[in-house]
Structure 1
Amino acid sequence: MQLTIAKAQAPAPDLTWFREAKFGLFLHWGLYSQTAGDWNGHPAKGGEHFMLYERIPVKTYTTIANDFNPVKFNADEWVRQAKATGMKYIVYTTKHHDGFAMYNSAVSDYNIVKQTPFKKDPLAELAVACKKYDIKLCLYYSLGRDWEDPDVPTNWPVKAGRSNTWDYPNEDAKVFNRYFERKVKPQIKELLSNYGPIGVLWFDTPELISKKESAELRALVAQLQPQCLVNSRIGGGYGDFSISEQTLDASSKKAWEACITIGKNWGYSRHDSTWKSAEMLVRNLIDVVANNGNLLLNVGPMGNGAFPNWAVKRLDTIGAWMKINQEAITGTSPFRIPAEGYSKETAKTDDKNTMKDAVHDATPKSTKADVFFTTKGKTVYALLRSWKSQSVWLKSLNGMPVQAISLLGSRKKITWQQTTDGVVITLPADFSKTNLIPIYTLKIDLK
């Protein structure tokens, strides 16, 4: 019997934990991590999408699994790192566009347990670690792209634009529903049945899924785990929150999430050498949270299972900042305005780059000093981004009944004066020593 429950009939899962979490870790890990940006002795085109751009046959691509033995994989270390960074959930890639399952799937032998010398199920270990550290386990699943399956047509940016046409050249013979019934639904059942509570099913690239199929998939999720959220990429308007990819622009006035990379790529590449600083990443986090969203920050683990050193360094610095300032992030709500002194930046992109779904970054690059706001109860937090001045003038607090002001991370008294034009604040002379990066939080208690 098919599940065809309508959106209006399905019980709505509780979004509270997601709205309060604010910060999560995205993990892109697969066979593409093993090749690390190379193919046949040259830098591969397309990043983690190189199977498509290099037009690699499934039979050939599968040989990468022979060398994929991530002996340094440690689920406890991964999740502990997320916890120490101030993150509340992780999103793990169970199946990317190459169709290779990064868990023990009984549906298809095309998976990490059956095809690699590793022979272990990393997702089972992640589930245990997430429970241990009270981190929500969420799962990524490529929905409308699967280059291993013969029945997955695509239409972006043109007909067959993201299809495997070298193994399966007859695009018109492909029937999405055959793939949907044979692989998608059975694997979703596995994921929601074998690994405990799942916070989010993070679908990607709906492509040619029909609204009816999206509704059926949503109903399947509701049946197996009623409180599991799904993102908007399930298709058909059935998502609980929307996605902004590689941009900080809010994609919804309701629940939304920005997913961004630290470097250029989602998956690990040895050629990636342009990384956002910890200061820039915290600026991004603040921008998103002040605008009522969540930030999902991506790390691509290496083929051996370890996080790259440059990623760990940035996560550790963010964690040190969060240890002092987390109360201004987690569990907060937007203020009446998100920021002052902020000039919205239009990020420039390379028009010659056609890989908009691979290497693409439209996040801000400016480190101009400005102030963003969050709130919690009767407290307003003023987050001073890339701040150097000892003086702060908060015009947005004009007319508000300020009772006390303190600087998170400092025990020194803050001098402030309320005027008809807002609140003028003087920071301690050594305020810059409170954080490893020049972003500071004023805690403003209202009467």
Structure 2
Amino acid sequence: MNKKIFLIFLILVTALNSAYSQNTDKLKWWKDAKFGFFIHWGLYSIGEWNGQPQKGNEHFMFIEKIPLKAYGKIAETFNPVNFNADKWVKTAKNAGMKYIVITAKHHDGFAMFDSPGDNYNIFKTTPYHHDPMKDLAAACKKYDLKLCFYYSLGRDWASPDAAWIKTGSKAGNTWDFPNEETKDNNKYIENKVKPQLKELLTQYGPIGVIWFDTPEGTTPAQSKSLRELILSLQPNCIINSRIGNGFGDYAVSEQKIVKGVELTPWESCITMSGKWGFSKFDKDWKTPELLVRHLVEIICKGGNLLLNVGPDNLGEFPGQSTQNLMEIGRWMKINDEAIYGTKPYSTVSEYALNEIDLKADAMGKSSNDFTSKKINSDLYFNQKGDNIYVFARSWDQDIISSKVLGQIENIDKIQLLGSRQEIKWTLQNGDLMINVPDISKNEIPVYVFKIFLKK
């Protein structure tokens, strides 16, 4: 009998270890990728409303209380004839990104894919009459990027059953559907959310991530059933934390960067400008230098950067976003080995500012952006294998002096990525002193030194 109990126990332990291993393996590509492309694209991408800036940008239907019938008329002229999936994905590839997350359905409830279960979609109600997600799936396969779908879970202003005022969020459509007491959120989940998730997971091949948003009002039982549905269709699909109630695979930090190292999987989603969606009036563009600084800080703290662009209603990226991505791509071609597959070093940074008034630093009110816009010289560290990488951000001095690296006793040599120049270094009074060569021609002043350790 004891042998039988032991055997059962051994089988259970083996099964649990196998399940854990599968989950770890499932996340490995994502944790190694570090850099993804967020695309906010929908009816709100017209970029204006009655010739004026949209209040709330992609939320303007809600902020301006536009009736569904009036908002839906945008679809009658929505015709993105310049959309080119190959160009979009190639742009992401050249920028060094490894996965794409696109808004399959945002809060306005309009599906940017052919949704047989709901006619309110780009295929059925626009003159475009085409499914752009099929093109994106083909292009992602061609360029070896993971295709991922954003799906607004807790807000749907086109649904008469999505009710959130009674949950406290006050984010539902009460101007078209004022009677909150008669709304049935479970009906919304069963009749719209689940059928559309099935469509997204069966019409476009392997999907890397289902990226939920706004889980407010979703019960634990609903989150659990959604997770089970997704994994029954695509077991290797990753789900972010906004499925709600602790059923996600990784955490999301929106428009901010965590303060210290976070070893559990997390991702920071950040706008490139002051808005998520396209706006004709948006002029608050971050520089390539600032965006690379964000990327470095995030990956050195153990996270991924999901960098957002909002294409216009014709399917074109704003010119400034394309220029930024080109410059980031040139930087990544030189330094990407210090990005992909790395992990945090024992110390995150040196000389970095500890106290930043992020609220005073915010840009773009509708995007609620609390990432720092300050530029200062500092050092960030990460590692891969036996090598340590030193990121000298916005560095303008001839010498790097580091007490953190001065504690390493077995340095063999130091290399500046992208340079053949010999890097001279010494240990002085507990500091590692690195001579910085002439690198003034570098477009983005974030330099990466690779430290080789003696075997």
TM-score using structure 2 length:
0.92
Matches within 5 A, 1:257-406: 257-349=267-359, 358-400=366-408, 401-406=410-415
Quickly say closer, same or farther: Cα 1:410–1:126, change in 2 above 3 A.
same
Once the two structures are superposed, residues 408-446 of structure 1 have per-residue CA deviations (whole angstroms, 9 ceiling, x without a partner) of 111111110124413111011x2222x211110101111
* Residues in 2 aligned to 1:198 and 1:345: alpha-carbon distance in whole angstroms: 40
Task: Determine the C-alpha separation between the residues in 2 that align with 1:265 and 1:32.
Answer: 12
Tell me how far apart the structure 2 counterparts of residues 55 and 310 of structure 1 sit (CA, whole Å). 31
CA separation of 1:174 and 1:9: change in aligned 2, threshold 3 A = farther
Amino acid at match of 2:385: G
- Determine which structure has more spread, i.e. the larger CA radius of gyration: 2
Q: Which amino acid aligns with 2:148?
A: C
* 1:147-186 matches, cutoff 5 A: 147-155=157-165, 159=168, 161-186=170-195
* Cα pair 1:200 1:230 within 8 Å, conserved: yes
- The equivalent position to 1:198 in structure 2, one of 187, 207, 214, is 207
The 2-side partners of 1:414 and 1:155 are apart by: 61
SS of aligned partner of 2:90: helix
- Determine the C-alpha separation between the residues in 2 that align with 1:352 and 1:131: 37
How many residues are aligned here? 433
1:101 aligned partner: 111
In the alignment, which residue of structure 2 is the partner of 1:53? 63
The residue type paired with residue 240 of structure 1 is D
Partner of 1:188: 197
Q: Select the structure that is richer in helix.
A: 2
Kindly state the Cα deviation for residue 43 of structure 1 after the two structures are TM-superposed. Answer: 2.1
Counterpart of 1:264 in structure 2: which amino acid?
A: G
Residue 29 of structure 1 is matched in structure 2 by 41
Q: Retained in 2: the 8 A contact 1:244–1:250? A: no
Q: Which residue of 2 aligns with 1:412?
A: 421
- Percent identity over the alignment is 50
Contact 1:250/1:293 (8 A) holds in 2: no
Distance 2:224 2:19 in 1: 11
Structure 1: distance between partners of 2:38 and 2:362: 27
User: Is there any run of 5+ residues in structure 2 with no aligned partner, and where?
Assistant: 1-17
1:12 aligned to 2:20? no
Distance in 2 between residues matched to 1:347 and 1:98, nearest whole Å: 33
The answer to whether the 8 A contact 2:256-2:371 is kept is yes
One of 87, 93, 108 as aligned partner of 1:77? 87
Taking the aligned partners of 1:250 and 1:239, their CA distance within structure 2 comes to: 22
2:140: which partner in 1?
Answer: 130
Q: Aligned partners of 1:160 and 1:289: how far apart in 2? A: 32
Who is 2:257 aligned against?
248
| Conserved? CA contact 2:362–2:368, under 8 Å | no
Normalising by structure 1, we get a TM-score of 0.93
In structure 1, the residue matched to 2:224 is 215
Residue type at the aligned position of 2:23 = A
- Structure 1 moving runs of 4+ over 4 Å: 8-11, 350-353
Q: Is the 8 A contact 1:345 1:366 kept in 2?
A: no
Unaligned runs of 5+ in 1: 1-7
> Residue type of the partner of 2:31?
R
